[in-house]
Amino acid sequence: MKDLTTGNEGKLIFQFAAPMLIGNVFQQLFNVVDSFVVGNFVGKEALAAVGAAFPIIFVMVSMIIGIVTGTMIIISQYFGAGDLLKVRRAIDTMYIYSMLAGAVASVAGLIFSAPLLRLLGLPEELMPQATQYLRIFMSGIVIFFGYNGTTAVLRGLGDSKTPLYFLIIATLLNIVLDLLFVAVLKMGVAGAAYATLIANGVAFGLAIIWVNKTHKVLRIAIRGLQFDREVFRQSIRIGLPTGIQHTLVAMGALALMGIVNTFGTDVIAGFSVASRLDALAIIPAMTFSQALSTFVGQNIGANRYDRVRAGLISTVRMSGIVTILTTVIILFSGNYLMRLFTDDTEVIRLGDQYLTIVSLFYIFFTLMFIYNGIMRGAGDTVWPMFFSLFSLWIIRVPIAYFLSREIGPSGIWWSIPASWIIGLALSFGYYKSGRWKKKTVVKYDDNF
């Protein structure tokens, strides 16, 4: 557990974010490794199939991830206020509803995988592999929820290092199993899915063992869990907007995937690989935003509003430097990175085109996420939800549809930075209004 309410703001945020950054990179490597292995050892059709399945997985898990995020904010504020009883009840409540939701998501994924892929217009030659990968992955989604819920709790308590150790082990195991199942045993996309599932299970199991043996506040056991209706109500109030946002964002990704699917296997494969690399590139911005949310939550809980602005300035500086470096790397190495996944020249060209266009605008994405992080840390998640949905559904999807009809797949690529620019303008305007300060869980008479 780490107290973020005293000490140098920038140093604290960096120290808290660094393990999360490494952890998020390793988490993203789960998907990247799957794409790398199937692209090199199975073919571009398998590469496209795995990429086409990901937006559906995103939809299936988005709502519960949002509500868990709400609980993490509550935990950080109660911990900042020193109310360990409420911290304990929030943890119990999160495990109860996340496990139940995971079971429901798993059943839904098994039933609706093929219909959803067909609804998106996935080319018929990709259907068998995409369906197989998706069904295997969704069969173990409850493990995914359990592990990510545990890491969210630890981060809410200020511990961003411990989850990293388990994740590194799991990622390395995923790499070994991917190579074993796909390259050696020739199991195809099913092998990649099983590798990811087993690796997630190992990470969750290690986390449970460690927590139960060493942690002072957190205990994980089926017996003795207490469901707190008030904590759940607060989790819904804070987390539901984020969950709705994640779900609608995921549905937006599905809509975008539907547009991509109309251009055939090469574009699907190019988009799939480039978007995975893109997801790696924006991890620093997302991580600093997460760290800032916990920092803001604890300091608001401790009634230290003076530290919030200082934390924001430090985060903008640190994340800005990283973003500029990332942009330069992507611009000059996009073609070479694409070649790691496939030797198909058209797939490489399309993916490099995507990366070149989108990477020029990473700074807009970074700033948008940082300002949203401030608001979420305060418990105000409704307006960030509206801003995100507006920039996605009113800007990105329509622009992608119309421009792709005029200039081809590059029209889809241009729609992404367009939505970031609008999202940043809306988020910055709301931050300056100061209305987010009224949404905190822990109340003080002298907040203003």
Task: For the chain of 448 residues, list the mean pLDDT of each consecutive stretch of 10.
Answer: 78 87 80 88 92 85 76 78 79 83 86 90 92 92 83 73 82 93 94 92 85 70 76 79 76 91 94 92 90 86 82 93 95 94 94 96 95 86 83 94 96 96 94 77 50
Q: What single-letter DSSP state applies at residue 157? A: T
Question: Degrees (nearest 5) of the Cα angle 375, 381, 387?
Answer: 90
- 114, part of any domain: yes
Number of domains composing the chain? 1
Predicted pLDDT at 220: 67
Phi, psi of 155 (to 5 degrees): -70, -35
- 384, part of any domain: yes
The distance from CA 295 to its chain's CA centroid, rounded to whole angstroms, is 19
- 224, part of any domain: yes
Predicted pLDDT at 90: 82
- 178, part of any domain: yes
Predicted pLDDT at 420: 96
Is 335 within 8 Å of 341 (Cβ atoms)? no
Predicted pLDDT at 448: 38
Predicted pLDDT at 399: 97
As given in the structure block, the two tokens for residue 329 are: 């790397």
Predicted pLDDT at 443: 55
- 2, part of any domain: no
What is the rounded CA–CA span in Å between residue 218 and residue 190?
35
Predicted pLDDT at 62: 78
- 111, part of any domain: yes
Predicted pLDDT at 306: 81
What is the rounded CA–CA span in Å between residue 203 and residue 210?
11
What is the rounded CA–CA span in Å between residue 203 and residue 163?
9
The residue range of the domain holding 407 is 9-439
How would you write 92-151 as a 3-class SS string? HHHHHHHHHHHHHHHHHHHHHHHHHHHHCCCCHHHHHHHHHHHHHHHHCHHHHHHHHHHH
What is the rounded CA–CA span in Å between residue 340 and residue 338?
5
- 68, part of any domain: yes
Minimal CA–CA distance to 350: which of 412, 293, 262? 412
354-371: string of b/e by CB count within 10 Å (b at 16+)? bbbbbbebbbbbbbbbbb
Is 34 within 8 Å of 46 (Cβ atoms)? no
- 340, part of any domain: yes
What does the longest C-alpha to C-alpha distance in the chain come to?
A: 65
What is the rounded CA–CA span in Å between residue 413 and residue 447?
44
Minimal CA–CA distance to 120: which of 250, 257, 275? 257
